[in-house]
Amino acid sequence: MTAPRDILIATLGSAGDVNPKIAIGRELQARGHDVSLIAHGYHRRRVESAGLAFIEVGTSEDYERLMRNPDLWHPRRAFALLAREGITQMLRPVYDLIAARDPARCLVISSGLVMAGRIAAQKLGVPLVTVHLQPSVIQSVDASPAVAPPLTDMRWPRAVRRLVWTAINRLAIDPALAPSVNAFRAELGLPPERDFFGAGFHSSLLTLGLWPDWFAPPQTDWPASIRCTGFLRYDAPGEHAAPEGLEAFLGAGAPPLVFTPGSAMQLGEGFFRAAVEASQRLGRRAILLTPHREQLPATLPDTVAHFDYIPFSEVLPRSAALVYHGGIGTLAQAAAAGIPQLVMPMAHDQPDNARRIKALGLGDWIAPARFTGARVAQRLGAVLADAALARRCAELAPRIDFETGLQRACDAIEDAANRV
């Protein structure tokens, strides 16, 4: 039996970052804990509709401004922007929220990017659980994630890979974080920090890896506190009325291709132009998913439909393939649906996810600079025609059990809470 805890879940990012935290929060609340979720105001409606208390840190306008910045989708400039306009902006308000709680009852669950959690753990002794959605945030030398290809490719000797990680930390990550983070640490009487994505990035109490072992097998140089519990899903099925025209479109022909650059992408005009052209070249029906209609061509063929939002759990099992940005939550849903994937990775974890998809035999990827209608049609046509790939998708789909992943994650959290 776990004593009820006052749980603060803090996250930074898009719906793909928030949704798994909602799933965890709902389950922990059902187990008798008091749960509040901290995020940008943009996510208030979704969090509160899930029945969780919501605490706003950062306005909807802050979020929208960040999402509209093209640097957020640039492979080299994205992290500096996220550090400046996201990570460091959350430091003081999230720390103050934690400091106001009773440390005897409080438990903090946060993504690694919410650095106030680790600072509060050091200063106040509040127990911290770190949640990683994707393996790319672990700077492994044994199995280096492809966060900066080709520099982090496994073809390089181990010593070279270690030097590359050191260079990434010293030249990119630390300079973006150290001035603001260490100034705040100094105010609290804490020593300065470096290697922000090193050992301190992962809670020594418990670090959850929300992916299955077969997607990213644990390595000997991963932190000892990491437990991989499986993919999670929260896409609010049943909470949204079926979009008008969806059933008619799905029933009017063969399963469609689904194209989405992610819910946060507001600069996807080129992606959708290529999507329409590729579907026409292949003679396939298609669904375009985005809440930002201004990205779409002015007119769409009769065989192409647009919807602002459809829960993936309701549309992907009835689709032929998914073409998307490579977000980890979307990846998991496509794998669970057993359909081929084509990824256009831009930044963050997307390049690593794309390469794992290809290595697992679940699909392929194409670089953003080459994402044209003709090339997408060629690559997607090859994926759809690959019988071995189709078999691999069908084999792996039953191995994804979102509910079991959720129960394992929450069991691990409660076990950690019982140890402190």
pLDDT average, residue stretch 292-302? 93
Q: Write out the E strands in 175-282.
A: 206-209, 226-228, 257-260
Which pLDDT score is estimated for 149? 82
Q: What is the mean pLDDT of residues 221-247?
A: 87
pLDDT per residue over 300-326, tens digit each? 999 999 999 999 999 999 999 999 999
Here the tokens at position 10 are 């803090």
Rounded Cα gap, residues 327 and 334, in angstroms? 11
- pLDDT at residue number 155: 86
What confidence category does residue 272 fall into, taking pLDDT thresholds of 50, 70 and 90? very high
What's the distance, CA 21 to chain centroid?
Answer: 11
Q: Which tokens go with 414?
A: 């409660």
Report how far residue 371's alpha carbon sits from residue 368's, in angstroms, rounded to the nearest whole number. 5
Range in 67-76, 177-186, 352-361 the model is least confident about: 67-76
344: left (phi over 0), alpha (psi -120 to 50) or beta: beta
The fold of 6-231+402-418 is Rossmann fold (3.40.50)
Secondary structure in 3-state letters for 346-391: CCCCHHHHHHHHHHHCCEEECCHHHCCHHHHHHHHHHHHHCHHHHH
Decide if pLDDT at 234 tops 60: yes
The answer to which of 47-51, 58-62, 237-241, 341-345 has the lowest mean pLDDT is 237-241
pLDDT at 175: 96
Distances (CA, A) of 321 to 155, 215, 260, 316, 363: 31, 20, 11, 8, 9
pTM score of the predicted model: 0.94
Nearest to 376 by CA among 267, 257, 263: 257
Alpha-carbon span 412 to 420, nearest angstrom: 13
Band of the pLDDT at 240, cuts 50, 70, 90? low
Place of tokens 């000892």: 224
Q: What confidence score (pLDDT) does residue 264 get?
A: 81
pLDDT digits (tens, 9 = 90+) for 14-44: 989 999 999 999 999 999 999 999 999 999 9
- Domain extents for the chain? 6-231+402-418, 246-399
- Mean predicted confidence (pLDDT) in 48-77: 93
Q: Looking at domain 246-399, which CATH architecture does it have?
A: 3-Layer(aba) Sandwich (3.40)
pLDDT (0 to 100) of residue 266? 80
Torsions phi, psi for 204 (to 5 deg): -75, -20
Which pLDDT tens digit goes with each residue over 159-176? 999 999 999 999 999 999
Cα-to-chain-centroid distance, residue 69: 18
| % of the chain surpassing 70 pLDDT | 99
Q: Which of 337, 408, 415 is nearest to 23 (CA)?
A: 408
Give the CA-trace dihedral at 293, 298, 304, 307, to 10 degrees: 20
pLDDT band at 267 (very low <50, low <70, confident <90, very high): confident
Decide whether 6-231+402-418 matches 246-399 in CATH topology: yes
Q: Classify 218 in phi/psi space as left (phi over 0), alpha (psi -120 to 50) or beta.
A: beta
End-to-end CA distance of the chain: 14
**In this model, does residue 97 exceed pLDDT 60?**
yes
Between CA 100 and CA 84 the distance in angstroms is 25
